[in-house]
Structure 1
Amino acid sequence: MLKRLKIRNYALIRELDVEFHPGFTIITGETGAGKSILLGALSLILGQRADTTALKDTDKKCVVEGVFNVSAYGLKELFEQYDLDYDDQAIFRREISPSGKSRAFVNDTPVNLKAMRDLGLRLVDIHSQHQNLELNNQHFQLTVVDLYAGHNDLLETYREKFRIYRKTVQSLNALIDKAGQSKADLDYFRFQFEQLESASLVDGEQAEMEKELETLNHAEEIKGNLTQLFELLNGDGPSVVRGSKDGISLLSNVAGFFPEGEDLHQRLESAYLELKDIADEAERAAESIDYDPGRIELLNERLDLIYTLQQKHRVETVAELIAIRESLDAKISDIDSYDLEIEKLEKQRDVAEAEVKKLAEQLSEQRKEVLPAIEERVNTLLLQLGMPNSRFRVDLNANGTPSGTGIDEVSFMFSANKNAELCEISKVASGGEMSRLMLSLKSLISKSKALPTIIFDEIDSGISGEIAGKMGSILKDMSAGMQVLNITHLPQVAAKGDYHFWVYKKDTEHETVTHLKLLSEKERVEELAKMLSGENISDAALQNAQELLR
């Protein structure tokens, strides 16, 4: 429950620090006094967005802090989920700087608005007049049925299975689309792959063939020069090899009396052997080289094929062509395997769908079981609220198509007049009837939903007289199990409260400021009398106010 609310520099509020209590709390005040400002400030610490227009003094920051007792509402796991320190007393704080920067804290730990909002939804339900329109919303209507049925565990299990089912369907559809697109490209991929595959490319072959072709194109020139080299070095006539050999003999003749000749002898002998080896190798090379037009043509054809493929695929090496070939091969294999993957996902989808439908049918059966009790309870409350001829019915129809909430479609049917045909609420209910219906439903689900605090903002709009008193009794009854705060203009409702706060504005020389005051018993009588008769309080109004309180 909400224990304390502190507000600084928000709208018309300069500084406010108020303690709240269990039970039924009433908030009254003239129109424009600032009752809705309190709700606006409270909504900030429940995760709603804000801007600098909320600042009373634009040179100072706005701070809203709420203290909640959360000991009995099983929120420890949710606190741990957001990595927050848990304590039975939780402090929510929101700060808005003059620059518009907003910061949120839970137990002095910074949090994002989503975390604050998720926690806030488990602590406070703020019901304003426009929320009566939720009655026309099928999601709200189904939520009412589910809360009364109390099958939250089953509903959570269904939602998780439905999430898996939906994800499987999305994956399957994406794969089918991808396979369809890929199969459209399959012939093109295969043509490219077969062209590269038939080329039987070998890494490094291009350089070797270009070198060989260069040699063959100059075969006659190479052969002639090698032959001349051999003749020069070791031919039949005078040659370098023969001359070197004669020089060795000459040095041998003088070696006995010319010591320096031994070094020259060894050097010349080494040169002789090297020159003879060069001559022999030149001769062999000359014999091995022949002009081969057939080989040249073959090499040209092979290199032309490689050059064509490189130009087509915009690469420069055979290695890159081989990489493209392998990539195409992998794409073709993937496309060929799509059918197997699709078949596998289809089986997973069918299993997930069967699980979802089974759980959805269980949900549907449990919902149907509680419909008579919901209808009976709401019709009883409407009777108490002065609608003896009204009838309320819940129509539940299974459409067979699983959604995030099951296979059911719900519709709240209503008639306010005797023997009138029941129609959808949005088509027949007036504003006052909407308020009474909403209160009946809130009363219904408040006993099923573990919510610490509910705040009504003039839910009694369009109600008066005896019916207002009965509405106050229902709100009072709700407060037995939860904290109820009600903003009202009706004295009949205000008199039912355990505590009564008065919101008022006070003008100073420079500004108008909103204040909140907890009324004493005497002040409360005067406030009720004022609500009954206006500013000029009569003795009859005071007596009537005392009667209401009794």
Structure 2
Amino acid sequence: MLQNILIRNIAIANNIEIDWSPGMTSISGETGAGKSILLNSLSLALGDRADSTIVRHGESRAEVVATFNVGRIPAALKWLKERDLDNTDECILRRTISSEGRSRAFINGQPVPLAELKTLGEFLIDIHSQHAHQSLLRSDTHLRLLDEYAGLTPLRQTVKEAWLAWQGLERKYAQLRQNADEKAARIQLLQYQCEELANLALAPGEVEELDTEFKRMSKSESLLRGAHAAESILNGDDEPTAVAALKAVLHELKCLDDPSDSLKSAYSLIESALIQTQEAGHDLQIYIESFDFDDERRFLVEDRLNTIHELARKHAVASENLHDHYYQLDAELNELTDSDAASETLAEEVELRKKHYFAAAKKLSAKRKQHAKSFEKEVIEKLSQLAMPGAKFNVAFEEQPKQASNGIDAVEFHISLNPGQPLQPLAKVASGGELSRVSLAIQVICAEHTTIPTLVFDEVDVGISGATAEIVGHMLRSVGAQGQVICVTHLPQVAALGHNHCIVKKQHTESQTTTNIVRLDSEQRISEIARMLGGIDITAQTRAHAEEMLRSHSQAH
């Protein structure tokens, strides 16, 4: 139930706060007083779109805060708990809109996406527009209204989920089938490429190792010649060598009889050089001995490298990446090969999802047809009360040519307004005034069967008057007695039947115009009903009539 609404800086509403009570609350006011601001603000709190034009001129931000008691709304409590947004039985929806057009939404103080606000709002409140009769001209509305009346919204959601699951897999399977030829060609290519690379049997790092070996073998003669020359200089047999020279220097220095430090240092350094030169010569001998002029090995290495480089060019990858490339192709081949089996499994899953959808859709269809009869009966009864006693009403079923997310049924309301006339589609028969009364009858019936505790009726009594208006008031009061009804009306017969009454007033000063919502006490309510009855000039007779209307309704209920 709606407990409180706070409206700040929306259009000409400066600062409005009002508490709401159970039962039926009538809202009246002169044309242009700002009744639409209340409904627009409530819609904003429930997640409707908004732009910066709604922000009061000169202000930086508009705000709406709606407080609900959700203690008796299990669906809302469950939804809040699943998202860790529950806050005992009180739920606060808050919406802000900046003058630059930025919008933010909050549930119990936690920021949420706007879609979350809208989803939660569907559990809390249902707004019946004054233009609802226009939607009756569309047959897609008829199916929704029947489902609301029959309380089939959860089952309809189950059908929708089954439909989405089926269609999602169906699209995936169709894509697989469409790509079957392309996939077969790709598998054939991959099999050839993988076989070719598998035969190569390239080891990790082999390319680098072969390349290093081949380069060394290619310049082995020049390397050996240079090594021999260097070794001969160090420690040759024929000519004076570096080792012999160093030994001679040491011999000469040793023969000198001088304790000089510099001489000692020189001797030590040359002695060290001799040792290192001898070691270098030894290493050069090992290096020279390591050369093996194996022409066959050189040919094998060269041929292996040529084969590797040729395959690398063929696959458009670097030779050193050819090993990893093979494993990538092999993984893709395995995945595509496995997908054939997956495709068969997917086809079975598609068929299973299809069966689930039709099972749920047929169950929904049966429930619709079951409740359609009582719906027809109640509509006819309500139309009779609304001064259309000869009307006949029928819910016509056809099977949809294509299955859809709302099931397998196509539904259209047929009506006959006069005895002897055949039933025809509603859009072809009813005039504007008749259509508004049919719409009102259906809306009231749906409201009587809804689980949503708060219902808003926005001037749904347009086009009726007199005794019919009073009947409408009784209908709305009866619905309100079971929960909460907020009814914006211009008819005194309807307003007088409210358990509570509020008035929307516009106020002017030299600098600004504002609107406000005021709860009326008994005397104020008499004055407002009298204004609605008599216009600007309220006579004593008009006031007495208003007082009598209110007294008779309070005694009757």
Quote how far apart the aligned CAs of 1:5 are.
2.5
Quote how far apart the aligned CAs of 1:356 are.
2.0
Residues 34-433 of structure 1 aligned to structure 2 (within 5 Å): 34-59=34-59, 61-74=61-74, 75-151=76-152, 154-177=155-178, 179-210=180-211, 213-214=214-215, 289=293, 292=295, 299-318=301-320, 320-399=321-400, 402-433=403-434
Quote how far apart the aligned CAs of 1:370 are.
1.2
Quote how far apart the aligned CAs of 1:376 are.
0.6
> 1:279–1:388: structure 2 CA closer, same or farther, 3 Å change rule?
closer
- Matched with 1:470 is 471
Quote how far apart the aligned CAs of 1:540 are.
4.7
- Matched with 1:436 is 437
Determine if contact 1:230/1:280 at 8 Å carries over to the other structure. Answer: no
Quote how far apart the aligned CAs of 1:218 are.
5.9
Determine if contact 1:6/1:18 at 8 Å carries over to the other structure. Answer: yes
> 1:444–1:279: structure 2 CA closer, same or farther, 3 Å change rule?
closer
- Matched with 1:485 is 486
| C-alpha separation in 2, matches of 1:111 and 1:228 | 84
Quote how far apart the aligned CAs of 1:372 are.
0.9
Secondary structure class of the residue paired with 1:129? coil
Q: Deviations over 1:366-421 (max 9, x none)?
A: 21111111101111101111112322211223338543222222222223333334
| C-alpha separation in 2, matches of 1:203 and 1:298 | 19
Quote how far apart the aligned CAs of 1:341 are.
0.6
Quote how far apart the aligned CAs of 1:458 are.
1.0
Quote how far apart the aligned CAs of 1:504 are.
2.3
> 1:498–1:206: structure 2 CA closer, same or farther, 3 Å change rule?
closer
Determine if contact 2:9/2:59 at 8 Å carries over to the other structure. Answer: no
| C-alpha separation in 2, matches of 1:539 and 1:167 | 70
| C-alpha separation in 1, matches of 2:217 and 2:357 | 76
> 1:134–1:87: structure 2 CA closer, same or farther, 3 Å change rule?
farther
Quote how far apart the aligned CAs of 1:517 are.
2.9
Supply the RMSD in Å over aligned alpha carbons: 3.8
> 1:151–1:6: structure 2 CA closer, same or farther, 3 Å change rule?
closer
Q: What amino acid does structure 2 have at the position aligned with 1:545?
A: A
- Matched with 1:458 is 459
Quote how far apart the aligned CAs of 1:357 are.
1.4
Q: What amino acid does structure 2 have at the position aligned with 1:379?
A: I
Once structures 1 and 2 are overlaid, which stretch shifts more, 25-34 or 419-428?
A: 419-428
Secondary structure class of the residue paired with 2:33? coil
> 1:227–1:434: structure 2 CA closer, same or farther, 3 Å change rule?
same
Q: What amino acid does structure 2 have at the position aligned with 1:19?
A: D
Secondary structure class of the residue paired with 1:479? helix
Determine if contact 2:234/2:277 at 8 Å carries over to the other structure. Answer: no
Secondary structure class of the residue paired with 2:21? coil
- Matched with 1:13 is 13
Determine if contact 2:187/2:337 at 8 Å carries over to the other structure. Answer: no
Quote how far apart the aligned CAs of 1:337 are.
2.1
| C-alpha separation in 2, matches of 1:4 and 1:281 | 97
Q: Deviations over 1:239-293 (max 9, x none)?
A: 999x99xx9xxxxxxxxxxxxxxxxxxxx999999989987996x778x536x4x
- Matched with 1:27 is 27
Determine if contact 2:231/2:281 at 8 Å carries over to the other structure. Answer: no
Determine if contact 1:453/1:484 at 8 Å carries over to the other structure. Answer: yes
Determine if contact 1:229/1:279 at 8 Å carries over to the other structure. Answer: no
- Matched with 1:2 is 2
| C-alpha separation in 2, matches of 1:437 and 1:134 | 12
Determine if contact 1:356/1:402 at 8 Å carries over to the other structure. Answer: no
Secondary structure class of the residue paired with 1:344? helix
| C-alpha separation in 2, matches of 1:398 and 1:274 | 99
Determine if contact 1:55/1:62 at 8 Å carries over to the other structure. Answer: yes
| C-alpha separation in 2, matches of 1:543 and 1:188 | 96
Determine if contact 1:189/1:332 at 8 Å carries over to the other structure. Answer: yes
> 1:32–1:219: structure 2 CA closer, same or farther, 3 Å change rule?
closer
| C-alpha separation in 1, matches of 2:542 and 2:180 | 81
Q: Deviations over 1:416-452 (max 9, x none)?
A: 3333343333333333223222222222222322112
TM-score, normalised by the number of residues in structure 1: 0.82
Q: Which runs of 5+ in 1 are unaligned?
A: 248-267
- Matched with 1:255 is none
> 1:97–1:214: structure 2 CA closer, same or farther, 3 Å change rule?
closer
| C-alpha separation in 2, matches of 1:105 and 1:281 | 81
Determine if contact 1:233/1:276 at 8 Å carries over to the other structure. Answer: no
| C-alpha separation in 2, matches of 1:66 and 1:24 | 18
> 1:437–1:181: structure 2 CA closer, same or farther, 3 Å change rule?
farther
- Matched with 1:264 is none
TM-score, normalised by the number of residues in structure 2: 0.81
Secondary structure class of the residue paired with 1:447? helix
| C-alpha separation in 1, matches of 2:216 and 2:69 | 95
Q: What amino acid does structure 1 have at the position aligned with 2:39?
A: L
Once structures 1 and 2 are overlaid, which stretch shifts more, 488-497 or 139-148?
A: 139-148
Q: What amino acid does structure 1 have at the position aligned with 2:88?
A: D
- Matched with 2:259 is none
> 1:200–1:416: structure 2 CA closer, same or farther, 3 Å change rule?
same
| C-alpha separation in 2, matches of 1:222 and 1:506 | 106
- Matched with 1:252 is none
Q: Deviations over 1:165-196 (max 9, x none)?
A: 33433433344455554334334434433443
Once structures 1 and 2 are overlaid, which stretch shifts more, 111-120 or 24-33?
A: 111-120
Secondary structure class of the residue paired with 2:127? strand
> 1:301–1:24: structure 2 CA closer, same or farther, 3 Å change rule?
same
Q: Which runs of 5+ in 2 are unaligned?
A: 248-273, 553-557
Secondary structure class of the residue paired with 2:93? strand
Determine if contact 2:128/2:443 at 8 Å carries over to the other structure. Answer: no
Q: What amino acid does structure 2 have at the position aligned with 1:63?
A: E
- Matched with 1:513 is 514
Determine if contact 1:223/1:289 at 8 Å carries over to the other structure. Answer: no
Q: What amino acid does structure 2 have at the position aligned with 1:306?
A: I
Q: What amino acid does structure 2 have at the position aligned with 1:118?
A: T
| C-alpha separation in 2, matches of 1:430 and 1:526 | 35
Secondary structure class of the residue paired with 2:131? helix
Determine if contact 1:415/1:422 at 8 Å carries over to the other structure. Answer: yes
Quote how far apart the aligned CAs of 1:321 are.
0.5
> 1:295–1:127: structure 2 CA closer, same or farther, 3 Å change rule?
same
| C-alpha separation in 2, matches of 1:105 and 1:217 | 77
Secondary structure class of the residue paired with 2:58? coil
Secondary structure class of the residue paired with 1:37? helix
Q: Deviations over 1:432-479 (max 9, x none)?
A: 223222222222222322112111111111112222222222212212
